[in-house]
Amino acid sequence: MRGMGNMQSMMKKVQKMQKEMLQAQEELNAKQFEGTAGGGMVKVTVSGERKVLDVSIDPSVVDPEDVDMLQDLIIVATNEALKKVEEETAATMGKFTQGFNLPF
């Protein structure tokens, strides 16, 4: 019956880890991440849930003759913000999987 005590202890640890992971994910989701392009002329803010919250464009970068450049700047800024979300998510959530030999 000694194995049951170990199993209960392990289950408590797993439940605690699940609670901590959920809290960490909620904290990440509440954060905002900003990506910029064109020396800060275009800024995109996304949530930790990867939703675009705001796009700010300096009027001086708006050129009706070069809409392609503006589109590219928006894409670059958005991708930068999303990359920041991914990096922080990996750093935050990765601590929960350290030591586990998971296939992913």
pLDDT tens string 56-65: 999 999 999 9
What pTM was computed for the model? Answer: 0.77
Asked, for residue 20, whether it belongs to a domain, the answer is no
Average pLDDT score, the chain: 89
Range of the domain at 78: 32-93
Asked, for residue 62, whether it belongs to a domain, the answer is yes
Q: Tell me the residue type at 21.
A: M
Question: Are 10 and 89 contacting, i.e. CB atoms less than 8 angstroms apart?
Answer: no
The pLDDT of 66-72, averaged and rounded, is: 95
Asked, for residue 82, whether it belongs to a domain, the answer is yes
- Of 2-11, 18-27, 72-81, 88-97, give the range with the top mean pLDDT: 72-81
Asked, for residue 42, whether it belongs to a domain, the answer is yes
- Closest listed residue to residue 36, CA positions, set 89, 79, 87, 67: 79
Distance CA 90, CA 73 (A): 26
Distances (CA, A) of 68 to 18, 40, 56: 46, 17, 17
Distance CA 15, CA 11 (A): 6
In the sheet where 32-37 sits, what is the strand order? 32-37, 42-47, 52-57
Asked, for residue 44, whether it belongs to a domain, the answer is yes
Asked, for residue 40, whether it belongs to a domain, the answer is yes
Tell me how long the chain is: 104
Asked, for residue 86, whether it belongs to a domain, the answer is yes
Neighbours of 3 (CB within 10 A): 7
Asked, for residue 56, whether it belongs to a domain, the answer is yes
Q: How many domains does the chain have?
A: 1
Q: What is the CATH number of the domain that holds 69?
A: 3.30.1310.10
